[in-house]
Every structure is written in C-alpha cells, then in structure tokens.
C-alpha cells in the first residue's frame, strides 16, 4: 500500500505493490548522487590541502563506499520490482490451476454420482450470491449489497474455472487445460456471456446518434480530469462525449468518453447501453453500444489516422477496450474505470491504465485478468473504496446508493490518488498522453445514442479470440 492509499502494479491478479520499492530506489539514487558530489568535494579538498590529505583520504574512501552501496541497493530494488511481475504470474498460475483442479474434480464427481453427493457449501454460497445479485438488478435496477474483496477474489477464481467444471462433467479435461484459461471455450467466460446474451430479447431498430450540446473546452489537464469528464447519465441523456483538439502538425486528435450501463431492464427500448450490450461485450461480439460509439466517432470526423484516447466507465470501459482491440483506429491509449476488461488483450502499442476497486463487483465478473505479457502491460491501480462518501445524482442507474464503490465519483478520487502517487509507470503513462491532456483549444460534443424503429439489427458474430490465456 502506498502512502496515498492506492496499489499500483503492472497487471496480474495479485497486484504486487512495487510502488514503495521504486520510491525507495529513488531515495537511494538521490543519496548516491549526493555522496558522489561529496566525494568529489573531498577529493578536491585533499589535493589542495596537503596537511589534511590523510584524514580527508579516509573520509573520501568511506564516502565512495557509501555511494557504491546506495547505488547497488537502488539497482537491486529496481531489479526486484521488475522480477515481482514474473513472480506474480507464477503465483497467479498456481492459484488458478488449483481452482481449475477443484472445478474438474467437482464436475467429475457430479457426473459420476449425480444428485447423490451435494455440490458443497461453497458452490451453494456462490450460486446464491449470483442469484441474489441478479434479483437485485432485476427488481431495483441497482447492484448490491456492498461487496467484500475476499468474496470478489473467490468469485474471480470461480468464474475463470467454469470451463474446467464443464470439462470435468464431460471428462474432457487435459493437463494443458488446467493452466490455460480460454474465455471462448465452451463454459468459458466469453462463451457463457454469449449464451446469457442470447436469452435476452434483441431490441429491434436502427441506431441514431444526435449531438445534443456543443461547447468550447481546453484539455482535461490530467488523468483525474479525464475521469471527471466521463458521463454518468440518467435515462435519455447523452452517453458519449467526444472532444476534438487541433494538432501541431495540422491534424486533429480526439478524446472519447463513454458512460456505463444506463438500463438493466431486459426490455431496454431505445437505450443501446443496456444489459445485453454488457454481455455481448464480454462475449467478444460487437454490441449496440459499441456500434453507436463508432457511428458517433465517424460523424464527429474521427479518421483512421487520427490519434484517439478512449476513456470509459463500466460498460463504457468495455466498449473502449473492444474498440482499441479491433477497430483499426489509431488508439493512443485507453483508461478504464471499473470495467470488466481484465481478460481482453490489446495490441502492444496501446497503453492501458485500468482503475479497479477491490470491493467493486463489476471488474471481477469476467474472472481473472490475463496474465503473461498481456497482463503485465496493463497498469492496474487498485484501492478499497468502501468508505467513500459520494454525492448522488437523481435519475441515474443508482451506482451511488446501490454500489458506491462502482460510482464514477469514487473512480475519479482513485485516479487522482494514482496521479499523485509519483509512481513512474503512471507518470510515463501521463507523459505519453500529454498532447491530449494539455491541449488548449478544442470542441466538446455531447452525443445521445438511440435505437429508432426500423428493421431489426442483424445478429453480431463473435470477433474472435477475446483474451490472452493465463
């Protein structure tokens, strides 16, 4: 835990905190520089004052030894912080393989003994938790109750092992399957999300995007400023914000901000940011909300060669990540706030800053994040947000009172803490986005996306592999 209350890692599920190690390394490096300057001064003094050459020579040797010690210690800390990423992956693989083995055993036991042997208390608790959450969403439009980080970590493991459970039932599990999480496999998270999406009615109609407001703006000034501009709209309000700024080369660059789910109702009518779009996004299918965003971007003048920064909350984070994954646009970076995006592997040249709360259900829903290089490329900022006191906005989905740790306002606070942490990874990410953040003159469009009556939209085809394996 850093002194500003956030943990920052290069990815993976255990979120190794190397921020303090790197901060200590910087202190030691500054000490080594000071000692080096002191040694230079002592050396100069020893040559100028012959009578003092012997005592100054001893002090000079001690100073240089201390300088080498501080420099070596700083280098060791930096090396250790990098190696922790590999250690994190190893521990993650051990945990997930253990969970997969348990899931296979449970599936095989159930296949052989059927209802004679109960599935176990943990399975009943997990099933009850899912049913309770679905019931809460269906009846109130909100998600609750407050989630415990331990429960959510267990939920990640259980969800990621769903395909192993199915293969155990069918006696098809192989040793390779135990160490490899394929979301697109039958029973995997993407596959399950696709089946769940098919159970919801597909809303007929074509998509229409309308600019409802236009304003002159300057750049957001920082990462927290980015988060603060993400919409959290009530029903019928704009879900998309697009900012266009001039580029020194004569071109333009864009920042696109995307809202989370607006309607959880199975009959969402004209609202494309709905529950079906959530499931289709996790499944790797182009959703209505993704189509609407791409349409709004085209109508705003975003071209294939224009640099674009994508920022989204919840479902908006999922849409932003999918667009960065496969749209062919020139994506300069992605910032996600509470998004179910950890399993989605992006191209190597797309930097990602993922803000996730330990006690927020939504980032845990797809299971464990991608490991390996794809996972380590994600800069992950984590914090427990249960104690936040947040303002509520009338007419919104109700994340504030229903699940405060998922609210945009809470994620704005976490982003600000990360920005103040001094972590070099966050600093590098911010520096890479400086042309967007520090732009002086631009135009902001508030865009409302709707379904309008017309021919039914064609069913979407999966876009292919959605994530890297563990």
Determine, yes or no, domain membership for 8. Answer: no
Determine, yes or no, domain membership for 465. Answer: no
**Cα-Cα end-to-end distance for the chain:** 25
Residue 66 and residue 171 in one domain: no
**pLDDT the model gives residue 267:** 81
Residue 71 and residue 98 in one domain: no
Range picked from 49-53, 214-218, 367-371, 457-461 for highest mean pLDDT: 214-218
Residue after which a domain boundary falls, among 180, 197, 214: 197
Which of the four pLDDT bands, split at 50, 70 and 90, describes residue 9?
confident
**pLDDT the model gives residue 230:** 96
Contacts of 84-90 spanning 24+ positions with Cβ under 8 A: 84/16, 84/18, 84/21, 85/9, 85/10, 85/11, 85/12, 85/16, 85/376, 87/16, 88/9, 88/12, 88/13, 88/14, 88/15, 88/16, 89/12, 89/371, 89/372, 89/375, 89/376
Residue 417 and residue 277 in one domain: yes
Residue 39 has pLDDT above 60, yes or no: yes
Residue 429 and residue 326 in one domain: yes
Candidate from 270-284, 339-353, 358-372, 415-429 with smallest mean pLDDT:
358-372
CA distance 394 to 388: 18
CA distance 176 to 189: 18
**pLDDT the model gives residue 208:** 95
Determine, yes or no, domain membership for 355. Answer: yes
Higher pLDDT, 81 or 138: 81
Show Cβ contacts of residue 131 under 8 Å, excluding neighbours closer than 6 positions.
none
**pLDDT the model gives residue 443:** 97
Residue 269 and residue 243 in one domain: yes
Residue after which a domain boundary falls, among 171, 197, 223: 197
> Domain containing 126: what range?
92-197
What domain count does the chain have? 3
For the record, the structure tokens of 380 come out as: 């992950």
Determine, yes or no, domain membership for 7. Answer: no
Residue after which a domain boundary falls, among 90, 121, 153: 90
Residue 297 and residue 177 in one domain: no
Candidate from 181-190, 254-263, 334-343, 461-470 with smallest mean pLDDT:
461-470
Pairing of strands 442-452, 240-246: antiparallel
**Under 8 Å between Cβ of 300 and 241:** no
Residue 171 has pLDDT above 60, yes or no: no
Determine, yes or no, domain membership for 5. Answer: no
Determine, yes or no, domain membership for 441. Answer: yes
Residue 440 and residue 299 in one domain: yes
**pLDDT the model gives residue 66:** 72
For the record, the structure tokens of 47 come out as: 């040559």
CA distance 14 to 37: 40
Phi-psi region of 284 (alpha: psi -120 to 50; beta: other; left: phi over 0): left
Residue 7 has pLDDT above 90, yes or no: no
Tell me what the pLDDT averaged over the chain comes to.
75
Number of residues in the chain: 470
Q: What is the pLDDT of residues 263-318, one digit of tens each?
A: 988 888 899 999 999 999 998 899 999 999 999 999 999 999 999 999 999 999 99
CA distance 191 to 121: 26
Residue 99 and residue 231 in one domain: no
For the record, the structure tokens of 88 come out as: 């994190």
Determine, yes or no, domain membership for 1. Answer: no
Beta bridge partners of 379: 353
For the record, the structure tokens of 273 come out as: 């940011």
Question: Can you say how many angstroms the Cα of residue 107 is from the centroid of all Cα atoms in its chain?
Answer: 31
Mean pLDDT of 369-387: 78
Range picked from 40-49, 332-341, 447-456 for highest mean pLDDT: 332-341
For the record, the structure tokens of 289 come out as: 């909300």
Which of the four pLDDT bands, split at 50, 70 and 90, describes residue 158?
low
For the record, the structure tokens of 79 come out as: 């090396």
Residue 286 and residue 398 in one domain: yes
Residue 182 and residue 37 in one domain: no
Q: What Å distances lie between residue 396 and 71, 96, 236, 237, 270, CA to CA?
A: 53, 37, 10, 10, 16
């Amino acid at each position: 835990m850093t002194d500003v209350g956030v943990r920052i890692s290069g990815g993976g599920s255990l979120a190794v905190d190397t921020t303090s190690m790197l901060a200590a390394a910087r202190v030691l490096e500054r000490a080594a520089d000071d000692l080096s300057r002191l040694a230079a001064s002592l050396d100069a003094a020893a040559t100028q004052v012959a009578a003092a050459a012997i005592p100054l020579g001893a002090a000079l040797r001690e100073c240089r030894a201390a300088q080498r010690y501080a420099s070596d210690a700083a280098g060791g800390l930096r090396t250790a912080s990098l190696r922790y990423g590999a250690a994190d992956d190893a521990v993650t693989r051990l945990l997930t393989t253990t969970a997969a083995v348990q899931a296979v055993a449970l599936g095989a036991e159930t296949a052989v003994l059927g209802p004679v042997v109960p599935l176990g208390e943990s399975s009943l608790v997990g099933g009850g938790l899912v049913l309770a959450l679905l019931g809460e969403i269906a009846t109130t439009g909100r998600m609750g109750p407050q989630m415990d980080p331990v429960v959510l970590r267990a939920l990640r493991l259980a969800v990621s092992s769903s395909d192993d459970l199915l293969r155990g039932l069918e006696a098809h599990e192989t040793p390779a399957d135990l160490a490899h999480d394929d979301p697109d496999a039958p029973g995997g998270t993407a596959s399950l999300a696709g089946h769940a999406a098919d159970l919801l009615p597909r809303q007929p109609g074509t998509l229409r995007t309308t600019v409802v407001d236009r304003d002159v703006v300057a750049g957001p000034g920082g990462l927290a400023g980015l988060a603060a501009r993400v919409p959290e709209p009530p029903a019928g309000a704009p879900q998309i914000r697009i900012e266009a700024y001039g580029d020194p080369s004569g071109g333009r660059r864009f920042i696109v901000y995307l809202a989370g789910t607006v309607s959880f109702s199975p009959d969402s009518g004209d609202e494309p940011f709905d529950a079906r779009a959530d499931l289709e996004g996790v499944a790797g299918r182009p959703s209505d909300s993704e189509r609407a965003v791409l349409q709004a971007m085209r109508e705003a003048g975003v071209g294939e060669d224009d640099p674009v920064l994508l920022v989204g909350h919840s479902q908006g984070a999922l849409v932003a990540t999918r667009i960065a994954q496969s749209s062919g646009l020139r994506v300069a970076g992605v910032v996600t706030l509470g998004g179910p995006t950890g399993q989605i592997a992006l191209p190597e040249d797309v930097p990602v800053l993922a803000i996730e709360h330990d006690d927020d259900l939504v980032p845990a829903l797809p299971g464990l994040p991608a490991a390996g290089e794809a996972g380590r490329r994600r800069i992950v900022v984590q914090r427990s947000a249960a104690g936040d006191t947040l303002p509520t906005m009338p007419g919104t989905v109700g994340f504030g009172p229903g699940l405060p740790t998922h609210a945009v306002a809470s994620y704005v606070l976490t982003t600000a803490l990360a920005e103040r942490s001094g972590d070099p990874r966050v600093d590098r990410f911010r520096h890479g986005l400086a042309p967007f953040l520090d732009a002086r003159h631009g135009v902001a469009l508030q865009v409302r996306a709707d379904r309008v009556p017309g021919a039914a939209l064609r069913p979407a085809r999966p876009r292919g592999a959605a994530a890297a394996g563990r």
